[in-house]
């Protein structure tokens, strides 16, 4: 089976967040993920895409299908060039919020995926990579 | 402007969310509903989320806000029809929804609201007068 090539979506408005969710949903379906897996990944997408729009001054989401040692996966990379996160450990704590949210975005998304990686530097931006395997 | 319709059934306001909501639409719904509770003197709000494929922290917060605001205005809110995959996901996400009353479907939600409305009416009639 040939995997679809990676693609990148803009994240600038709250409508873009909806489009990102829908794109991830279709991709997960195409790769044969079950409904619960789809819902978890789509929910994580919504949290991270919103972070990029609201806190990262807009950014992008890269979506990639993977096949490694017979496993099928989807990897998403959320990248923004916003102010960055000064204290990542703190930002990953449930209930911590820098703004108007519930503070579940980062920590919550981490629990919804199999792999979670975050890089952030003040004044340079933030990159969050998540992967879910089938 | 894009809006989610609010229907009136006796003392109950009915909302069925049929679209993949972006954040502004969710905020508009919250504002519209609070205005309608006052305008229509509603005693109950029923929100059907059976079409929602996902509830994230933003939508969860909106549902909690609607429940709290309607409570402050003398109306009860019940959220109905959450899909099983959504329920599994919000628990892992860490959304508690503990302030939001839920029911399996619209029918049970309406029963729940009618009971709540009757109870609150009894409370008012049994209150001692003149104190």
Q: What is the mean pLDDT of each run of 10 residues along chain B (131 residues)?
A: 90 95 94 97 97 94 94 95 96 89 95 88 64 48
Complex ipTM: 0.89
Residues in chain B: 131
Mutation site for A-interface testing, chosen from B58, B64, B87 by largest number of A Cβ within 10 Å? B58
Q: How confident is the model at residue A102 (pLDDT cuts 50, 70, 90)?
A: low
**Is the CB of B24 less than 8 angstroms away from the CB of A46?**
no
Looking at every residue in chain A, the average pLDDT score rounds to 91
d(CA A22, CA A16): 10
Q: Is residue B33 part of a domain?
A: yes
pLDDT in the model for residue A90: 84
Q: Token pair for residue A73?
A: 């996966």
pLDDT in the model for residue A14: 94
Q: Does B28 touch chain A (CB under 8 A)?
A: no
End-to-end C-alpha distance for chain A, whole angstroms: 15
Nearest to A35 by CA among B86, B19, B103: B86
Q: Is residue B131 part of a domain?
A: no
* Cα of A37 to nearest chain B Cα, Å: 8
B114: domain CATH number? Answer: 3.30.750.24
* Cα of B91 to nearest chain A Cα, Å: 9
pLDDT in the model for residue A86: 82
Run of H or E including B84: helix B84-93
**Is the CB of A108 less than 8 angstroms away from the CB of B92?**
yes
CB burial class (10 A; 0-12, 13-18, 19+) of residue A4? exposed
**Structural domain containing residue B76:** 6-126
Classify residue B30 as left (phi > 0), alpha (psi -120 to 50) or beta.
alpha
Mutation site for B-interface testing, chosen from A22, A108, A109, A110 by largest number of B Cβ within 10 Å? A108
**Is the CB of A111 less than 8 angstroms away from the CB of B21?**
no
Q: Is residue B78 part of a domain?
A: yes
CB burial class (10 A; 0-12, 13-18, 19+) of residue B118? exposed
Mutation site for B-interface testing, chosen from A50, A104, A113, A132 by largest number of B Cβ within 10 Å? A104
The CATH class, in words, for A7-133 is alpha beta
Q: Is residue B1 part of a domain?
A: no
Which B residues in the span 30-69 are in contact with A, Cβ-Cβ below 8 Å?
Answer: 53-58, 60-61
**Is the CB of A46 less than 8 angstroms away from the CB of B54?**
yes
pLDDT in the model for residue B116: 86
3-class SS at B125? helix
pLDDT in the model for residue A103: 62
Give every strand in the sheet of B101-103, ordered side by side.
B6-9, B12-16, B44-48, B76-80, B101-103
Q: Is residue B95 part of a domain?
A: yes
User: Which DSSP string corresponds to B30-74?
Assistant: HHHHHHHHHHTT-SEEEEE-TT-S---HHHHHHHHHHHHHHHHTT
Number of domains composing chain B: 1
User: B15, B52 in Cβ contact below 8 A?
Assistant: no
pLDDT in the model for residue B126: 62
B27, closest residue in chain A (CA to CA): A14
Cα separation values, B130 from B124, B125, B127, Å: 13, 13, 9
């Amino acid at each position: 089976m040939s995997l679809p090539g990676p693609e990148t979506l803009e994240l600038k408005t709250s409508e873009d967040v909806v489009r990102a969710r829908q794109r991830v949903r279709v991709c997960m379906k195409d790769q044969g993920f079950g409904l619960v897996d789809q819902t978890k990944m789509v929910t994580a997408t919504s949290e991270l895409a919103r972070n990029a729009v609201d806190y990262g001054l807009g950014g992008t989401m890269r979506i990639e299908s993977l096949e490694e040692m017979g496993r099928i996966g989807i990897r998403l990379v959320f990248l923004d060039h916003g102010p960055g996160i000064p204290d990542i450990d703190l930002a990953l704590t449930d209930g911590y919020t820098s703004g108007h949210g519930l503070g579940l975005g980062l920590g919550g998304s981490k629990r919804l995926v199999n792999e979670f990686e975050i890089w952030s530097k003040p004044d340079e931006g933030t990159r969050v990579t998540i992967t879910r395997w089938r | 402007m894009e809006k989610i319709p609010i229907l009136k059934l006796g003392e109950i306001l009915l909302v069925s969310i049929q679209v993949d909501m972006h954040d502004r639409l969710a905020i508009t719904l919250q504002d519209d509903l609070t205005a309608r509770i006052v305008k229509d003197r509603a005693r109950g709000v029923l929100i059907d989320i059976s079409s929602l494929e996902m509830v994230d922290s933003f939508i969860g917060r909106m549902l909690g806000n609607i429940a709290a605001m309607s409570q402050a205005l003398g109306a009860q809110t019940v959220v109905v029809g959450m899909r099983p995959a959504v329920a599994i996901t919000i628990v892992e996400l860490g959304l508690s929804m503990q302030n939001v009353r839920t029911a399996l479907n619209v029918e049970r939600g309406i029963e729940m609201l009618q009971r709540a409305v009757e109870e609150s009416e009894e409370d008012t009639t049994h209150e001692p007068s003149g104190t």
